[in-house]
Amino acid sequence: MKVTPALLVIGALLTFWASMAIMVLLPAATMHPAPSSTWRPWSSEEEAGNTLYVQNGCSYCHSRYIRTNDWDLGAERLAEPGDYVAQEPSILGTERTGPDLSQAGGEHPDDWHLAHFTNPRYTRPQSLMPAWKFLGESDIRLLTAYVQAQGGRDADTRISRQQRWRTPAQEAYARGPDKNIEWLHDQVPHGWLAMPNPYPPLPADLARGEKVYQDQCAGCHGPIGDGQGLAAPYLNPVPLNFTLLRRHLTDGRYLGGMLYYQIMNGITGTAMPYFKRDLESEKIWDVSNYVAVYFVGYTDATMEPRGIGAAYEPAWTNPYTPPQTQPAAASQPAAAPARTEPR
Amino acid sequence: MSGMWRFLKKPEGPALAFMVSGMLWFIIGTLYGLVSAIDLVAPDFFANIAPLVFGRGRPTHVNTVLYGFVTEVLVGCGLYYVPALLRTKLWSPPAAWLSWLLWNITVLSGPICFAGGHTQGREYTEYIWAFDVTFTLAIVLLAVNIVMTIANRRENSLYVSVWYFTGMLLWTAGSYPIGNVMWHPSTGAVAGILDTVILWFYGHNLPGLVLTPLAVGAAYYVMPRIAQAPLWSHTLSLVGFWTLVALYTHIGGHHVPQGPIPNWLKAMSTIDSMAMVIPVFVALGNLWLSIRGRGGKLLADPAGRFVLAGTVWYLITCVQGPIQSLPAVQRVTHFNNWVIGHSHIAILGFAGYIALGAMWHILPLLSGRELYSRRLVNLQFGLITFGLVGFFMVLTTAGLIQGGAWNNGQTIYRVLPEIAPYMFLRAVMGVLIIAAAFVGFYNLWMTLRRGRVIEPELREEALS
């Protein structure tokens, strides 16, 4: 076959435009997905947030769809074509240097986002996201509105739950540190409150707990657990000062289960997120022991009640005695029964 | 004024201009790449310097190396070899100068506009509408110029390089406006999930219908010349050319794997991605069989070595590409640095190497001056090769760590510390590539200023 100029020009154009018809025109003619069950239109604020999302290249690190093999943020719902109706542009993204955002709405309250956008390392010390402080607070609020809209009606449900618990959490904080902790304890199922940490805080466990704490928790609660992390000035209510727990042990001795539950589940309405996706069970027990030993100066590890000890558990005697608490100190037993035998 | 006009009418002017500006964009584009690499090592290094935050620096890097460096250098080569192969002169050098101007205005809009957040944000279609217009005009003008050059040819048969160069211009004149949704000037996008289909139709036409025809066309020109051997098969050239445009245009859906696009699009893009081995192996087979037994000539020639290595990168890229389009593979390789490794060997490895090699080969023919330094070309080759091989290995490793961990239930935050050392190594490798860009620009500049003038009769001999 001899390639003449006519064959070259006409053939090249025909092949290309035929492909275009199949790959663009046919989808354009056939793809008219109905809005999905969670879809809702964006408000003008959320639209403005989308514009900022596009302008600042957020889509180079964040995707906006969940696949069947995803486990992280948003993995409770697979993406549907009807999730993106009327959004223009609706950039789905090709990289996940940060988490998928398709269901990010309502995962965190607005004050967490303000701290996180100002400098992501304030809330998540390991984040690689740029600090967006230079955009100014009004743009950060628009971006926050956009993130909070991700997930549509499902996000709205999460937001309303955040808002439902925000007011009581703030009121409790306003009543003073002791009342605040009492309120926080009241939100934990009783079974967890009266549960000791089942694992001993051996040096290796504490070293692991320290790593988890400094990587995941120090941004808000501070490197020394006093609640004075870099994010704290942005948050309302502020992060807990762990040293206060010393006078708020359940039954005068328990705090392990309470810490575990709050770390696992987060405290909706406050900036405290859940860590059940980031941390496996042992890591949560380790960081609970770290917080207890280093910041409270006491741990209930391996105390009664407990079941059969895990097979690998080494023998360990809990040397800590519950701190004297006032004013109810007199009614507390002088010392917890120290265990000498692993069970 | 008439002196100016005489300058604009010099036939070699636009080709040289595209090469010089392309090599300048190589420096600027890779410097932005380094900034983005540093952002991923130490995110507060450029804290609150708006133009350098990752979300603004990365598109500047990508668009500048793509549309600026690689494409401009390859277009510069084409503006030389197309008239040369047709034994004629470029139809209108002033029109080609205008294309050069419009093209560079477009590329320049990247660093300027993206710094202030003026972008349409969709990957590879970030330039705002006004500069989509300048780019489209540049392409259409070039297409007219080349078609008219063909019409005024003195050589009857059209060599395969001419097909590819002409095809690239004709295809891009349609592909770019569609991909950029130029009929929606404010967003450059259509609403809803359909936008993703259109975006990735274009997204893969960019390597497929812009870079590949330019680079393969240049390789078809340079390799047989340096090897002093005829083309092995005209038939294979035909198969490679027509399957390229027929298949490459169907595979964009593989950028949205397991995403909410119709299944028939996913199936089609996966199958045609696999079928891409046809145009790739046909072109590579044809090129390598043409130089069979004469590979030493290419290795001994600094420019030939670049082009030969570019074809090797083409092979690696296009074996990796189809494999990673398979859904089972993509579950691990998508969304992470594996893909960044792949895109770098495609654009810098395959198209970039051939662009540099073809430029070093054509530069003496075009300027009438010998290369200022063959050793600097070799140094550039060494720097890029060390940098890119390291870059590819580092990013592929980081990607496998990310993808494997995610697939087994780890969260993004847990995996970020695992890739930290690789992000550091990537930045180090990037420095070598930037050094190569500086060495290349220096060598190009010094060739044009100081290169030994080739005797006219020798030049005629080289041209024939």
Q: How confident is the model at residue A342 (pLDDT cuts 50, 70, 90)?
A: very low
Q: Classify residue B455 as exposed, middle or buried by CB count within 10 Å of its CB (0-12, 13-18, 19+).
A: exposed
**pLDDT given for residue B456 in this prediction:** 72
Q: What is the pLDDT of residue B460?
A: 59
Quick check: B121 and A5 CB within 8 A?
Answer: no
- A12/B201 Cβ within 8 A: no
Residue B371 binned pLDDT confidence (cut-offs 50, 70, 90): very high
Nearest residue, CB atoms, B191 vs list A88, A132, A134: A88
Average pLDDT rounded to a whole number, residues B52-59: 97
Q: Does the pLDDT of residue A243 top 80, yes or no?
A: yes
Residues A13, B174: C-beta atoms closer than 8 Å = yes
- Answer whether residue A335 shows pLDDT above 50: no
Q: Residue B369 pairs with which residues in a beta bridge?
A: B453
- Cα separation of A285 and A205, whole Å? 9
Separation CA A243–CA A227 (nearest Å): 9
Q: How far apart are CA B339 and CA B346, in angstroms?
A: 11
Mutate to test the interface with B, among A97, A103, A107, A135 (most CBs of B within 10 A): A97
* Tens of pLDDT, residues B95-119: 999 999 999 999 999 999 999 999 9
- Judge: A19–B414 Cβ closer than 8 Å, yes or no: no
- Contact call for A16 and B209, based on CB within 8 A: yes
Q: Which residues pair with A95 in a beta bridge?
A: B335
Task: Give the whole-angstrom CA distance, residue A9 versus residue B150.
Answer: 11
| Residues of A (94-123) whose Cβ lies below 8 Å from B | 94-99, 119-121
Q: How far apart are CA A190 and CA A186, in angstroms?
A: 8
pLDDT at B458: 64
B380-393, pLDDT tens digit by residue?
A: 999 999 999 999 99
Q: Among B320, B300, B326, B284, which Cα is nearest to B228's?
A: B300
Burial of B156 (0-12, 13-18, 19+ CB in 10 A): exposed
The tokens for B299 are 């290795």
CB contact under 8 A, A63 and B252: no
* Chains A & B: contacts with CB separation below 8 Å: 242
Q: Which of B166, B237, B335 to mutate to test the interface with A (most CBs of A within 10 A)?
A: B335
What percent of chain A has a predicted confidence (pLDDT) above 70? 94
Residue A324 half-sphere exposure toward CB, CA atoms < 13 A:
3
Distance CA B214, CA B31 (A): 24
CA neighbor of A206 nearest in space, from A277, A260, A287, A274: A287
Amino acid in position B166? T
Contacts of A333 (CB under 8 A, 6+ apart): A252, A322
| Buried-exposed string B114-144: b where 16+ CB fall within 10 A, e elsewhere | bbebbbbbbbbbbbbbebbbbbbbbbbbbbb
Q: Give residue B143's identity as a one-letter amino acid code.
A: A
The pLDDT tens digits for B41-54 are 999 999 999 999 99
CB A146 within 8 A of CB A50: yes
Q: How close, in Å, is residue A135 to chain B by CA atoms? A: 8
Average pLDDT value for residue range A105-122:
97
Phi/psi at A141 (5° precision): -65, -40
- Helix B374-407 and helix B302-324, axial crossing angle in degrees, nearest 10: 10
Whether A337 shows a pLDDT value over 80: the answer reads no
3-state secondary structure B231-283: CCCHHHHHHHHHHHHHHHCCCHHHHCCCCCCCHHHHHHHHHHHHHCHHHHHHH
Chain A residues with CB under 8 Å of B56 CB are 56-57
CA distances from B39 to A51, A171, A172, B43, B426 (A): 23, 40, 41, 4, 12
CB contact under 8 A, A94 and B123: yes
Pick the CATH number of A175-331 from 1.10.760.10, 3.20.20.70, 3.90.1150.10, 3.40.50.300: 1.10.760.10
Average pLDDT over residues B195-210: 96
The pLDDT of A232-248, averaged and rounded, is 96
State residue B463's pLDDT score: 53
Average pLDDT over residues B272-293: 96
How much is the pLDDT for A320?
93
Per DSSP, A95 falls in state B
The amino acid sitting at B448 is: L
Closest-approach residue (CA) in chain B for A66: B259
Mean pLDDT over the full length of chain A: 93
Mean pLDDT of B229-247: 95
Count of all residues that appear for chain B in the document:
464
pLDDT at A339 over 70: no
* B198–chain A nearest CA distance, Å: 6
| Contact between chains at B163 and A71 (C-beta distance less than 8 A) | no
B295-318 mean pLDDT = 97
φ/ψ of residue A46, rounded to 5: -70, -35
Answer yes or no: CATH 3.20.20.70 is held by domain A44-158: no
Report phi then psi at A102, rounded to 5. -65, -20
Q: Are A44-158 and A175-331 in the same CATH fold?
A: yes
More confident residue, A340 or B377: B377
Structure confidence at residue B462 (pLDDT): 54
CB–CB of A57 and B58 under 8 A?
yes
Test B170 with A13 for CB contact under 8 angstroms: yes
pLDDT at A331 over 90: no
H or E element at residue A118: helix A110-118
pLDDT at residue A332 above 60?
A: no
Q: How far apart (Å, rounded) are the C-alpha atoms in residues A317 and B182? A: 73
Q: Alpha-carbon distance B289 to B310, whole Å?
A: 16
> Do A276 and A265 contact (CB within 8 A), yes or no?
yes
With a CB-CB cutoff of 8 Å, which residues 223-262 of chain A face chain B?
Answer: none
Helices and strands counted in chain A (H then E): 13, 0
As a whole number of angstroms, the distance between CA A172 and CA A190 comes to 19
pLDDT-based confidence at B1, cuts 50/70/90?
low
* A254 three-class SS: strand
Spell out which residues of chain A touch residue B407, defining contact as CB-CB under 8 Å.
69
Q: What is the CA radius of gyration of chain A?
A: 26
pLDDT higher than 70, residue B85: yes
Mean pLDDT of all residues belonging to chain B: 95
Which residues in chain A have their CB less than 8 angstroms from residue B176's CB? Answer: none
| Residue B345 or A306, more confident | B345
E strands present in B213-252? none
Q: Kindly state whether A22 is in contact with chain B, defined as any CB-CB distance less than 8 angstroms.
A: yes
Could you tell me how far CA A9 lies from the centroid of its own chain?
57
Q: Which domains does chain B have, with CATH numbers?
A: 17-463 (1.20.210.10)
How many Å lie between the alpha carbon of A200 and the closest alpha carbon of chain B?
25
Is A71 close to B406, i.e. CB distance below 8 A? yes
Considering only CB atoms, A69 lies closest to which of B118, B151, B331, namely B331
- The answer to whether residue A129 neighbours chain B at the CB level (below 8 Å) is yes
Number of residues written out for chain A: 343
Q: What is the pLDDT of residues A133-153, one digit of tens each?
A: 999 999 999 999 999 999 999
* pLDDT at residue A330 greater than cutoff 90: no
Domain boundaries, chain A: 44-158, 175-331
Residue A341 has pLDDT above 80, yes or no: no
Q: What SS3 class is residue B76?
A: helix
Determine which helix (DSSP H) or strand (DSSP E) holds B172, and give its type and residue range: helix B160-179
Q: Say if residue A343's pLDDT is above 70.
A: no
A56, closest residue in chain B (CA to CA): B55
pLDDT at A334 over 90: no
- What was the ipTM of the complex prediction? 0.94
Please report residues of A whose CB lies closer than 8 A to that of B191: 85-88, 90
Show the CA angle centred on residue B239, arms to residues B238 and B242, nearest 5°: 80
**Average pLDDT estimate for B221-231:** 96
